[in-house]
């Protein structure tokens, strides 16, 4: 697949000239004026120039001929296990796919027999259960050493009964768990109008796309013959399905437990005609949202459950909808060749095929970030690679309404999605970054580019939530009730505004000369109010406080907040306080659960770059922290111009679902090096477009009054509180 940064040998490239590998022209060869650029003289600057040139060549060489970039999107083994379980359920599992997937799963197993959900993370029960079952499907014997270690750990930590709901649903499909001991999801949920609490539009788009097909599965309660038993995963095989004790009636947990008990009773008396109508409505909802490539929402989990639901409703595997859906799932697979696995797979020959399943694909996101990185590193604005990328991005603009229009029915479309095909769910984060990327390109058809940017800006402004900030996919998707349902025990199921998305929007509006717009000013006030006491910001879609801070500070300074502003100085002080001894920055996923991990973890190229972007925007280019951070990037760069980054620095659901974007290790370090060498990106638009508030913005005074009112309350778990 194009764009994935190679892990390669661990050879480092020393700072200084020479040893530049072959490839396309980089900043050092395209006429960039080194003498006029920002950044200090001497070896540090020269090392940064050479590193940026190598990184530019590396990135240019990985652009697809169509104009896009895409790195692998690595998550965890539950994607691979559930893919095999789906194929087993549908009767289409083949030995070649199973063997290749099993090799990947075995290769991710930890010495204690468990699986984690991110690099270096602690054992995770549900992932371990699903991986174990997948290896049983692949033929691994339960008494094999690697399997025995896994099952013993599972039993010691509560067995299947302690696993999350989604894991137990998969096991119920084969009779390994009882449907009676799962939360009830009635399909009548699809019929609830918008004004009723817990209607499907109260859920975030990713949860909504999953829940609708699961209502069909829950109503049908299918059971396929199991190819083996799983008694070894129960703490007591005689009573494998213990019931959860009821919580206090006046607590949220107790209230929803009793509601779920009522729904189980309703199942037995549900009016047949109403249930039939609900199932038909769910089927229509699912089919209407299938994308042109056959997927649903461009992400794997809803596609898996949608295929199962439609199959249960009578759609055979040859039906065009089903055929396209299955073909789309095949495109989530990344095939490579690897070494033999651990002791459960010692007979595998070197170079045997290994299959990893992506939860999603990120070409739009990767492409706009690559364009920003290359442009900020000094690539000419009319470079053919940038023009090709702009052409491709312009062709990806979404011109029809999606689910977002439920809350914004009068708003004209104009956004971009994350994936190749996802017209139903464009997102605000991608749209903001695409606009920033397009503005860095000198396109041969400027009118076309300007029109697309105008539509994107208008759509983004229309998606602002009532509190002045922006979520990722929907406006005002802030009801906390969905998170309290017994069914929702895994990850975020709502899409409230976040600091990182809001920051990207503010940065985009500043580039468009719109900081005087009242909507932009409300966003700025919200960001200032959301700063944590330590001086950082929470990162919803990247890990975590380093990402949030690296997003917000450049946005605030682009919008006119002076580097001397107290909020900026607090952010600088926090970043300096968490810099590692090697000069880099890192933050572990555990900071989402334990606040003491904030800003702490092994240094990584992407997180170091995020910290540098904030420090550079704050005017710290000549500071010791920046010099050490740049030195870290130069010293850890590989000989081919890439960086190695096994750590997961992206986030799907904070803590619950972590992501390793393989292109992050490339685009963000290059952006940081570019801004160190050439200064911050120039402002776009005429100065007068920023309105009469420029001087006030630099002092921060207009935002002080509204800051307290703008602050929102984030749940303690989301805020990383211990």
Q: How far is CA 100 from CA 167, 300, 351, 562, 572, in A?
A: 22, 19, 11, 54, 47
Which of 361, 464, 364 has its CA nearest to residue 416?
364
83, 366, 403, 429: the catalytic one is: 429
Give the list of residues 6+ apart from residue 79 with CB closer than 8 angstroms, or none.
300, 332, 356, 357, 358, 359
Name the phi and psi angles at 661, rounded to 5.
-80, 115
Q: 3-state class of 585 per DSSP?
A: strand
255 phi, psi to nearest 5 deg: -65, -45
- Structure token digits, residue 606: 């992407």
Q: Which of 4, 48, 1, 2 is nearest to 26 (CA)?
A: 48
Q: 3-class secondary structure for 641-693?
A: CCCCCCCCCEEEECCCEEEEECCHHHHHHHHHHHHHHHCCCCCCCCHHHHHHH
The number of C-alpha atoms within 13 Å of 289 and in the hemisphere containing its C-beta is 28
Q: Where are the alpha helices (DSSP H) in 335-376?
A: 363-376
392: Cβ–Cβ under 8 A, 6 or more apart, which residues? 66, 67, 68, 367
Residue 224: partners with Cβ closer than 8 Å, 6 or more residues away: 88, 89, 173, 174, 175
> What whole-number distance in Å separates Cα of residue 422 and Cα of residue 164?
28
Residues 247 and 260 sit within 8 Å (Cβ to Cβ): no
Token pair listed for 467: 């509190």
For the chain, how far is it from start to end, CA to CA, in angstroms? 40
Q: Please state, in angstroms and as integers, the Cα–Cα distance from residue 307 to each residue in 216, 231, 302, 315, 424, following that order.
A: 11, 29, 8, 9, 18
Element (H, E) at 256: helix 252-269
With beta carbons less than 8 A apart as the criterion, state whether 240 and 160 touch.
Answer: yes
Paired tokens of 591: 């900071």
Q: What is the 3-state secondary structure (H, E, C) of 180-220?
A: HHCCCCCHHHHHCCCCCCCCHHHCCHHHHHHHHHHHHHHHH
DSSP SS3 for 338? strand
User: Which residues, 6+ apart, have CB-to-CB distance to 460 below 8 Å?
Assistant: 415, 428, 431, 432, 435, 470, 505, 508
Q: Is 403 a catalytic residue?
A: no
Whether 529 contacts 710, CB under 8 Å: yes
* Of the candidates 501, 542, 504, 499, the residue with the CA atom closest to the CA atom of residue 649: 542
DSSP state of 581: T
Residues belonging to the active site: 429
């Amino acid at each position: 697949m194009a764009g994935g940064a190679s892990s390669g040998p661990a050879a480092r490239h020393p700072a200084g000239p020479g040893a530049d590998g072959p490839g396309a022209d980089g900043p050092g060869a395209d006429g960039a004026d080194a003498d006029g650029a920002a950044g200090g003289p001497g070896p540090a600057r020269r090392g940064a120039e050479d590193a940026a040139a190598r990184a530019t060549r590396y990135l240019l060489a990985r652009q697809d001929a169509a104009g896009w970039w895409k790195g692998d999107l690595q998550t965890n083994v539950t994607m691979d296990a559930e893919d095999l379980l789906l194929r087993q359920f549908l009767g289409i599992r083949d030995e070649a796919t199973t063997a290749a997937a099993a090799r990947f799963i075995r290769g991710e197993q930890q010495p204690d027999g468990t699986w984690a959900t991110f690099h270096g993370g602690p054992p995770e029960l549900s992932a371990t259960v699903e991986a174990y079952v997948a290896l049983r499907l692949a033929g691994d014997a339960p008494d094999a050493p690697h399997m025995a270690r896994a099952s013993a750990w599972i039993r010691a930590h509560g067995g299947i009964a302690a696993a999350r709901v989604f894991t137990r649903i998969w096991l119920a499909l084969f009779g390994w768990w009882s449907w009676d001991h799962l939360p009830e999801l009635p399909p009548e949920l699809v019929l609830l109008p918008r004004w009723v609490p817990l209607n499907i539009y109260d859920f975030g788009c990713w949860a909504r796309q999953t829940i609708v097909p699961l209502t069909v599965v829950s109503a049908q309660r299918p059971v396929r013959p199991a190819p083996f038993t799983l008694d070894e995963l129960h703490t007591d095989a005689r009573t494998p399905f213990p019931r959860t004790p009821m919580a206090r009636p006046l607590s949220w947990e107790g209230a929803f437990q009793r509601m779920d008990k009522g729904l189980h009773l309703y199942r037995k008396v549900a009016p047949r005609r109403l249930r039939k109508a609900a199932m038909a409505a769910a089927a229509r909802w699912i089919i209407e949202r299938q994308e042109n490539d056959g997927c649903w929402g461009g992400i794997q989990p809803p596609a898996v459950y949608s295929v199962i639901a439609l199959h249960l409703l009578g759609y055979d595997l040859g039906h065009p909808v089903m055929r396209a859906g299955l073909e789309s799932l095949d495109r989530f697979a990344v095939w490579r060749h690897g070494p033999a696995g651990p002791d459960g797979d010692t007979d595998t020959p070197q170079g045997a095929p290994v299959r990893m399943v992506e939860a999603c694909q990120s070409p739009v996101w990767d492409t706009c970030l690559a364009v920003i990185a290359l442009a900020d590193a000094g690539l000419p604005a009319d470079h053919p690679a940038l023009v090709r990328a702009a052409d491709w991005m312009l062709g990806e603009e979404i011109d029809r309404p999606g689910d977002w229009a439920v809350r914004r029915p009068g708003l004209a479309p104009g956004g971009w999605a994350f994936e190749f095909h996802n017209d139903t769910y464009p997102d605000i984060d991608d749209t903001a970054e695409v606009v920033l990327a397009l503005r860095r390109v000198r396109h041969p058809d400027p009118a076309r580019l300007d029109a697309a940017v105008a539509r994107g800006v208008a759509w983004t402004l229309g998606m602002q939530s009532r509190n002045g900030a922006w979520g990722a996919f929907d406006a005002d998707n802030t009801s906390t009730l969905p998170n309290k349902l017994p069914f929702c025990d895994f990850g975020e199921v709502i899409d409230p505004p976040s600091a990182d998305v809001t920051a990207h929007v503010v940065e985009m509006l500043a580039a468009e000369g719109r900081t005087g717009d009242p909507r932009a000013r409300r966003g700025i006030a919200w960001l200032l109010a959301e700063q944590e006491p330590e001086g950082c910001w929470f990162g919803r879609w990247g890990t975590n406080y380093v990402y949030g801070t690296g997003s917000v500070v450049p946005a605030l300074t682009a919008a006119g907040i002076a580097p001397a502003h107290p909020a900026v100085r607090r952010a600088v002080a926090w970043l300096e306080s968490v810099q590692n001894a090697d000069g880099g920055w890192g933050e572990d996923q555990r900071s989402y659960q334990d606040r003491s991990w904030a800003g702490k973890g092994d240094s990584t190229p992407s997180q170091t770059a995020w910290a540098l972007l904030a420090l550079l925007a704050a005017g710290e280019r000549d500071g010791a922290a920046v010099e050490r951070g740049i030195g870290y990037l130069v010293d850890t760069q590989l000989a081919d111009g890439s960086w190695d980054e096994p750590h997961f620095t992206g986030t799907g659901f904070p803590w619950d679902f972590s992501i390793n974007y393989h292109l992050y290790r490339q685009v963000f370090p290059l952006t940081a090096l570019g801004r160190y060498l050439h200064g911050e990106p120039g402002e776009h638009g005429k100065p007068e477009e920023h309105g009469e508030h420029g001087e006030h913005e630099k002092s921060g005074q207009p935002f002080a009054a509204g800051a307290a009112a703008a602050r929102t309350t984030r749940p303690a778990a989301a805020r990383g509180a211990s």
